[in-house]
Structure 1
Amino acid sequence: MALERLDAALTVELQHLKDEGRGKAPERVITGCLPPDATHGRRYTLEGYDRPFLRMNSNSYLSLSFHPTLLEAADQAGRRYGVGPGAVRFIDGTSTPHSALEQRIAGFVGCPAARIFNSAYTANCGLALTLATSRTHWIGDQLNHNSIIRAMRIAGVPGANKGIYRHNDMDDLRRCLDEVDPVMERVVVIFDGIFSMRGDHAPIDRIVELCRDYHDRFRDGVITVVDDSHGIGAYGATGRGTVEFCGAMADIVVGTFGKAFGVNGGFIAASATIVEAVRQKADTYIYTNPLGAADCAAAAGAIDICDSGEGLALLANLQRRTGQLRAGLAALGLESIPGPHPIVPLLVRDTTATRRLVERLFEHGVLAVGLTYPVVPQGDETIRFQVNAGHTADDIDFLLSHLGV
């Protein structure tokens, strides 16, 4: 009875979302998967459907989720420490796998220290809560992920303390830096390493070089932050991400274990002082349970694989399959955004055509994501394909066969 009026109001709001094209479709339920064979990668089964599906919409770029090393590491840690931590980190919720993972990921990305979170989303929010003051100015790319945008709102960043530059436009970034009020004590320039809807990357080398010119204007300098969630493990010669690809290091690296590493959780890597400040000040770290020990052990195992010959082989196959898909789209006369990352967008540029093509792919057993107006501007309607190392040449050919006219 008490919820009748609230339910009615929310029903109207939900209908508005649907009418605007922003409503989410019912969630499909994965009921299982079929193992890979000699020619095809893993296939997934869905509730209510009697055929298997090829996933072209998974973030698991290295296909490590079913790796026996990770499964065994998770099983052993779960049996030793339990399936949950039992408390927040400050109240004896820290176990050996937590500390070991923090040391391992810091070394992998080339930073002195790291702190792990439930997700990269909560890591971004925690970082903003740590760094934000009344005299901190934030500058971000216009296509930054929602977690970065939300982090600044949670930290209470006022409009006067914020600048947005056009996507990957260094001249516009310079304009934003020029417009910072001289009374500001620190400036944070934050950006995605890989932009998740497009697959293109931030020019970290140029960003760092430009910010260096302004560093001495402010008491605490100009600090660069990259959220490389889609880059770590999947990009660069050895999977170190966008910083490796660009040959330049940001001051702070945010990332996830939930994409290329195939597990769960996020992290912040930086100087030991910044990481300690995060530990002391980030509400999204202090007041919530951490990852379970099983997730931590599996994530550490995934980093070990990435750092091995097997990892390099997986990365090489990922690059081959990505190249195959990009070449196939070009051969069909279809438009994409150039780049070597396994996020491969197909620019359809029409909402109705995008939805129809996604439906046609589904009917033929391919799962893909369509991005249509108003989620993207009119004329930018896109289907986002995500390649992973478990895909075979036949898998990519199968997808391409259903994209031709």
Structure 2
Amino acid sequence: MKRQLILEDGTVFVGEGFGSDIERSGEVVFNTGMTGYQEILSDPSYCGQIITLTYPLIGNYGINRDDFESIAPAISGFVVKEAADFPSNWRNEMSLDEFFKEKNIPGISGIDTRKLTRIIRKHGTLRGMICSIERAEEDVLQQLKATVLPNDQVKRVSTKTAYPSPGRGRRVVLVDYGMKHGILRELNERDCDVIVAPCNITAPEILSLHPDGVMLSNGPGDPKDVPEALEMIRGIQGKIPMFGICLGHQLFALANGANTEKMKFGHRGSNHPVRDLQTGKVALTSQNHGYTVAEGSINGTDLKVTHIAINDGTIEGLKHNKYPAFTVQYHPEASPGPEDANYLFDQFMQMIEAVKSEGETTCQNVEI
């Protein structure tokens, strides 16, 4: 079954369709990871996007029950060079084609993903549509040019009501802006008593839960589309230790007077080197973001840059100069990717203990 991917600049790729035959449009992005396609396609941070994987063979180990990062994938489409028809792995339960049919997600294979990636790297992310070969290019281009990218992705993927993931250790409120299951898993492994909260939870609601710490999760889209989070962050910082990841990092920056900006094509992959400015050590990290904290906007705030990306020098980590709060732009839970930065969850636990040992009323100026 022939299918086409049409970009807003007029570029047309013709390939073979798999998965659902529904037509979908979205922002076309690329991920350079060589493994972990199941975690990638189920990452809520890709809500509304069409993912291109640069590794040429995808689906060779199938789909299994264990590697999902969300229950319902939120992507708009999937683009690969070759989709394996007959996966082989002891954990395999179904093929990519079967899975995407079940989830009503369109895919296209057999196109030059290297060419597509070069176009995105040169021109930046573009709107695109996966559609039937019968669709007229002119009609699709007009539709794409009239398409306004959504700004409600966080609300789409966040839990609607709070729920517990019980433990007998420290109580952590995990604010779900599009949480990957790997984050919850890391907290569970440390026996935290986790309460997963919706994206619109308020500071008084968080404080009423009497948490020992708060985590701001990853999530999709532009952080400026979640203004209600900024008031909440300002209302709890200095009162509760805080750790932010990816979108949570950007929201933390905005709440403290910094600015964010859209990147040309973002960071999406599992081998991005990041330097810890305090120790000088470099970690290979998993990343998925299209926005970054603007470097110059840190000046005049109470924030300090702690980590930078080696490839382009963008900000990858922040800490507050007065309050026990720190954030990173990358994913310390990996899923998929290297686990070099997993220690940050332990650092968060240490920060919580340091605050508790100083007393709940002296949360300011606690150092690890």
TM bucket, shorter chain: under 0.3
CA radius of gyration, larger in: 1
TM-score (norm 1): 0.24
TM-score (norm 2): 0.26
Instruction: Give the number of the structure with larger relative contact order, counting CA–CA contacts within 8 Å between residues 6 or more apart.
Output: 1
Q: Which has more strand, going by share of residues?
A: 2
Q: Which has more helix, going by share of residues?
A: 1
